Amino acid sequence: MIRIDSVTKRYPDGTVAVDRLSLDIPDRAITVLVGPSGCGKTTTLRMINRMVEPTEGTILLDGADLQQQPVTTLRRSMGYVIQNAGLFQHRTILDNIATVPRMLGWGRQKSRDRAAELMERVGLDASLGKRYPYQLSGGQQQRVGVARALAADPPVLLMDEPFSAVDPVVRKGLQDELLRIQGELGKTIVFVTHDIDEAIKLGTMVAVMRTGGRLAQFAPPAELLSDPVDDFVEDFLGADRGIRRLSFFPSAGLELTTGPVVRLDATAEQLAAPDAPYLLVTDADGRPLGWAEPRDLTAGDIVPRRLLSYGRPFVPGTDSLRAALDCAVLSPTGWAVAVDADGRVAGVVSQQAIGEAIRTAHGTGGTGDAGTGEAQTGDEQTGDAQTGDAQVAGSADVTKVAP
Ligand SMILES: Nc1ncnc2c1ncn2[C@@H]1O[C@H](COP(=O)(O)OP(=O)(O)OP(=O)(O)O)[C@@H](O)[C@H]1O
Ligand SMILES: [Mg+2]
C-alpha cells in the first residue's frame, strides 16, 4: 500500500537523516520502524504524510506518487499520534477527539457522537469526555491521542513513539489495545519506537534502521529473532533471542496426557493406578489444586494446602510454546499444567516433551507438530495475540501467539 522507493532526506544543514531507504509497507498490518536515536525514524514517518519532503526517491500510496496528491487530502487519510499525545490543552477530551471531524465540516453533534464512540473503542470511560487533558493520566492521554487519530476513520495511522512516556504496565495495556483495535479495524499502521521488545510484540513487519538513516533489516519479527543479518541487528535484538522466538510458536500441538491427573475424591485404586512420579490433584470441577507424590496421598484425606504449587497453567491454542515452557520451568515437578478457557485441566506435559516440540518447531519454522496453525486465526484471541492479519506479511510463515 505504501511503497518507499530509494528515498533520501538531506536536511538543509547537510545532515543525511534517511539514506536510500526502500520499504514496502503492507496493507492492514502494523509495520514498525525501530532503531537507535537519530537513525531517521521520525523523518521517515513524516515523509509519509509530507510533513517532510524527500530530497530524492519517491513514496507511493496505492501506486500513486505522494507528490501528486494534495497535502490536505493526504493528511486526512492518515491519522498521526505522537509521544505525550500532543493534545490541545484548552479543549475538552471530547472536543480533542472531534477535532478532525469538525475540520471536515461534520456537525457538532455528529462529531461528538463519533468522539464518544471512539472513547469507548480505546477503553476510556465516557465520564472523562468533559475533562481537560491535564486532568487525565499519561496513559489516558495516549488513548485520547489514538482516538483522535482514528476520528475520521483514516485507512493509515502513523504513530511516533506513542507509548514511550508511560510506565511499563500502562504501556503493555496500550499495546494490547492497539493490537485489538488493529484486529478490529484493519488499519495500516506505521509505528515508530526505539524499543525492540515493543517492535517484536506489535510488528507484523519490523524495519531495523541504523544510524545514518540506512535500513539494516526488514523482516517479520520471528525471522529477525532467528536470522539477524549482521552483528548490529543481533546486538540490537539483545539477549534471549531463542527463548523470545518461542512466542511465535503455538502450544496447541503439544501432546497432553491426563494419566497423572486425579480428583480430590479419588479412591485408593485410582491413586495407585498412574505410573507417574507425581500426581496432579484437581477439585470436583477439574480445576487444578496442586501436585504431590503418590505416596503422600491418602484416599479420602487429601489436604489441598499440603499440595505442591501447580504454578501458572497455560492454555493450549491461545498460549505459545514460550508460555508452556515457562510453566514447566516454574513447576516444582517439571511438568506444565494445561487448562481450557474455563480453567479446567486439559492435561499435563513434561519439560522433555516441550523440548521436543521446540526442536520440531525450529526445524519447520513453526508449521510442524508443535504448531497446528490454529492459534493463527482465532478471532477469540485478545491481548498479546495477533490476528490473522499477521499473515499479510507474506514471508511470515509463523505468527504471534501470547508470549
Ligand atoms: N530539521 C532538521 N534539520 C537538520 N537535521 C535534522 C532535522 N530534523 C532531524 N534532523 C537530524 O536527522 C537525523 C534523524 O532525525 P530523526 O528525528 O528522524 O531521528 P529519530 O530516529 O526519530 O530519533 P529519535 O529516536 O531520537 O526520535 C538526526 O541526526 C537529526 O539530528
Ligand atoms: Mg524520533
Query: CB of 218 within 8 A of CB of 23?
Result: yes
CB distance 38 to ligand 1 below 6 Å = yes
- Whole-angstrom Cα distance, residue 81 to residue 148? 8
Looking at residue 393, its pLDDT comes to 33
Which pLDDT score, from 0 to 100, does residue 152 have? 85
Tally of CA atoms within 13 A in the half-sphere of 257 that contains its CB: 14
Phi-psi region of 12 (alpha: psi -120 to 50; beta: other; left: phi over 0): alpha
| Percent residues over pLDDT 70 in the chain | 90
| Residues 29, 14: Cα–Cα separation, whole Å | 34
**CA–CA distance, 276 with 368 (Å, rounded to integer):** 28
pLDDT at 365: 53
pLDDT band at 338 (very low <50, low <70, confident <90, very high): very high
- pLDDT tens digits, one per residue of 189-235: 999 999 999 999 999 999 999 999 999 999 999 999 999 999 999 99
- State mean pLDDT over 79-93: 89
The ligand 1 atom at the shortest distance from the C-alpha of residue 45 is: 18
- Ligand 1 mutation target, pool 41, 160, 211, most atoms within 8 A of CB: 41
Q: What is the residue whose three cell numbers read 513487519?
A: 205
How many whole angstroms from its chain centre is CA 347?
28
Model pTM? 0.81
Q: Which residue has the cell 477530551?
A: 93
Q: Which three cell numbers stand for residue 281?
A: 490433584
11 Cβ below 6 A of ligand 1: yes
CA of 241 to the centre of ligand 1 (A): 29
Q: Which ligand is nearest to the CA of 17?
A: 1
Q: Please name the residue whose Cα sits nearest to atom 10 of ligand 1.
A: 17
Instruction: Confirm if 333 and 313 have CB atoms less than 8 A apart.
Output: no
pLDDT at site 138: 87
Contact 41, 33 (CB under 8 A): yes
- The DSSP H or E segment spanning 355 is helix 351-364
Of residues 344 and 386, the one with the higher pLDDT is 344
What's the chain's Rg over C-alpha atoms?
25
* pLDDT at residue 373, rounded to an integer: 35
**For 292-315, what is the mean pLDDT?**
93
Beta carbons of 278 and 348 less than 8 angstroms apart? no
User: Is residue 367 predicted with pLDDT exceeding 80?
Assistant: no
Mean of pLDDT over the chain: 87
- Cα distances (Å, whole numbers) of residue 132 to 87, 135, 144, 391: 9, 6, 11, 40
8 Å CB contact between 345 and 288? yes
| DSSP string across 14-61 | S-EEEEEEEEEE-TTSEEEEE-STTSSHHHHHHHHTTSS--SEEEEEE
The number of beta carbons lying within 10 Å of the beta carbon of residue 42 is: 18
- Ligand 1 pocket check for 14: Cβ under 6 Å: no
37 lines ligand 1 (CB under 6 A): yes
Q: How many residues in total does the chain contain?
A: 403
pLDDT band at 381 (very low <50, low <70, confident <90, very high): very low
Ligand 1 neighbourhood includes 13 CB (under 6 angstroms): yes
With the most atoms of ligand 1 within 8 angstroms of its CB, the residue from 8, 9, 10, 11 to mutate is 11
In this prediction, residue 384 carries a pLDDT of 39
Q: What is the pLDDT of residue 394?
A: 33
Grid cell digits, residue 96? 480533542
**pLDDT of 28:** 95
* pLDDT single digits (tens) 32-66: 999 999 999 999 999 999 999 999 999 999 999 99
Atom of ligand 1 nearest to the CA of 13: 4
Q: Is the CB of 294 under 6 A from ligand 1?
A: no
Q: Helical H runs in 189-307?
A: 196-202, 221-226, 231-237, 241-245, 268-272
The number of the ligand 1 atom at minimal distance from the alpha carbon of 52 is 1
Phi, psi of 314 (to 5 degrees): -115, 160
The answer to whether residue 265 scores a pLDDT higher than 60 is yes
Residue 33 alpha carbon, nearest atom of ligand 1? 21
Which range scores top for mean pLDDT: 149-158, 173-182, 277-286? 277-286
Percentage of the chain surpassing pLDDT 90? 71
